[in-house]
Amino acid sequence: MIQLVIFDLDGTLFRGDEVIEGAPQALARLRSQGILIRFLTNNSGYSTEVLAEKLNRLGFQASPQEVMGTGPYALQISQQRSYRSVFVIGESGLHTIFSGYETERDDADAVVVGVDRQFTYAKCDRAMQLIRRGAHFLATNRDATYPIERGRVQPGAGAMVAAVESASGVSPEVLGKPEPQMILQILADANVDPQNALVVGDRVETDILAGQRAGCKVVLVLTGSTLDPAPGVRTLVSVNDLESLA
């Protein structure tokens, strides 16, 4: 019996500010059945509060406690490991998340790389030098692209991660999907066994693989990055096609 559904955001519930038709109503139906809802995104540029605000603005019921993103998760990992200094490549939101850290030390403990629309040669060089001096290389995710309005895509964090990886010669520790750690944390916090949880997403190589690695049931939707059904994976046109899961 499904007790918890974990939804990806970009490409699954919305594209930019364009809501997937019927998605808010589909989630409301699940909540009315007593099913727990959680939101999980590889997008590193926003705090849980900002992500919850966007979800509510687009018509979804959401609280910050129901949302997990790779930016806050990267901060959590950095705090658990007692990093003193972290060099951040990312959007302003990721910098805000790490605002309590020193960022310019030459002996930084870690380099965190997320999507960055202002990515430059200088940033890549700085990250490379720090990693070669021993800084731990953390990638929020490896998504090559992410979906936006009108069926378009833009470069994702994977493009920045690949540049830093190529320059430094060091492979990163990847925090986001397809690694299952964030899903496992959501399951533990909700006290739900993996077999009673469903992961819904639009990328086979991230959302679906992460759900499978965590031991959850999975559903692929064709409203984002993946346009064709995947062999052996339950596939729906959109989240609006999710039937009763109780």
Q: Are strands 153-155 and 173-174 parallel, antiparallel or unpaired?
A: unpaired
CB atoms within 10 A of CB 228: 9
Alpha helix positions (H), the chain? 23-32, 48-57, 70-80, 92-97, 121-132, 157-168, 181-190, 209-213
Q: For the chain, give every domain's residue range.
A: 4-42+177-241, 71-174
Q: Which of 8, 109, 143, 207 is catalytic?
A: 8
For 197-245, write each residue's pLDDT tens digit. 999 999 999 999 999 999 999 999 999 888 889 899 999 999 999 975 6
For 65-80, write each residue's pLDDT tens digit. 999 999 999 999 999 9
Percent of the chain with pLDDT over 70: 99
For 29-53, write each residue's pLDDT tens digit. 999 999 999 999 998 988 999 999 9
- The answer to whether domain 4-42+177-241 and domain 71-174 are alike in fold is yes
Active site (annotated) includes residue 8: yes
Q: Which of 10, 109, 116, 143 is catalytic?
A: 10
Predicted pLDDT at 112? 98
Which long-range CB contacts under 8 A does 165-168 form with residues at least 24 apart?
Answer: 165/137, 167/124, 167/125, 167/127, 167/128, 168/127, 168/128, 168/131, 168/132, 168/137
Active site (annotated) includes residue 125: no
Type of residue numbered 224: G
Percent of the chain with pLDDT over 90: 85
Report residue 246's pLDDT band, with 50, 70 and 90 as the boundaries.
very low
Q: Which CATH class is domain 71-174?
A: alpha beta
Assign domain 4-42+177-241 to its CATH architecture: 3-Layer(aba) Sandwich (3.40)
As a whole number of angstroms, the distance between CA 138 and CA 108 comes to 12
For 99-142, write each residue's pLDDT tens digit. 988 888 889 999 999 999 999 999 999 999 999 999 999 999 99
